[in-house]
Amino acid sequence: MSKKAQAVSKHVADLVQFSVEEFRRRAKERPSDLSVWTKLYATNQTLLWAMRKNTVGPALLEICANLLACEEVAIVEIECETETIRFVVEKNLLPENRAALIQNTRLLESRIEPGRAVIAADGGEDLSALLALGINAVVPLWARERSKGAMLLFQLLPQHTAFDAEDREVLQLLSIYAGPCLRNQNLG
């Protein structure tokens, strides 16, 4: 691993580790919020462990399945100039959803907003197009000049009809940390 890659790796690990300490402190201060802090802590620890093992992509799929009750997930990269989509990693992605993503790359690209998870059920005409594609949430991973990346969450498990406040916190955490963790893995 190059010195630059090592420095970036340490920086990302330090950021994630700082969050662990912050989660612990907040959970002690507000025990009534323990459930949300537990989910955030589990997410954080899973990402930290995955960075050490170079398994960030599969770890993100695990977080979606275990903490967000979503087992149909795709992590995609969109090349802005050519409007092509590359499937980085996916789990249980239905062929019709894959085809819909390929046909609607421009729409998808327009919904990737850095640092902000977009939940389609929040409504508005603007987001109904995501629901029409079967997408429940878009978690931005990166937005650079040449490409954008996102984690797309499709149908939730039957016992989980919508994202609750705890899920939204996890999605927001992922919108901040998942991208750097994934990019860091690819530097090595």
Structural domain harbouring 84: 69-161
Q: Is residue 42 part of a domain?
A: no
Count of structural domains, the chain:
1
Q: Is residue 27 part of a domain?
A: no
pTM, rounded to two decimals = 0.79
pLDDT at residue number 12: 55
DSSP 112: -
Q: Identify which has the larger pLDDT, 186 or 158.
A: 158
User: Lowest-confidence range among 28-37, 94-103, 116-125, 127-136?
Assistant: 28-37
Helix (H, G, I), strand (E, B) or coil at 147: strand
Helix (H, G, I), strand (E, B) or coil at 104: coil
Q: Is residue 81 part of a domain?
A: yes
pLDDT at residue number 64: 92
Cα 144 from Cα 37, distance rounded (Å): 31
Q: Is residue 91 part of a domain?
A: yes
Q: Identify which has the larger pLDDT, 152 or 34.
A: 152
pLDDT in tens, 34-53: 577 788 888 888 888 898 89
For residue 122, give the nearest of 139, 137, 141 by alpha carbon.
137
**Number of helices and strands in the chain (H, E):** 7, 5
**Sign of the C-alpha dihedral, residues 34, 35, 40, 45?**
positive
Q: Is residue 133 part of a domain?
A: yes
Q: Is residue 89 part of a domain?
A: yes
Q: Is residue 146 part of a domain?
A: yes
Helix (H, G, I), strand (E, B) or coil at 14: helix
Cα 133 from Cα 113, distance rounded (Å): 18
For residue 151, give the nearest of 164, 142, 163, 161 by alpha carbon.
142
Rounded to an integer, the average pLDDT of 65-69 is 91
Cα 29 from Cα 126, distance rounded (Å): 38
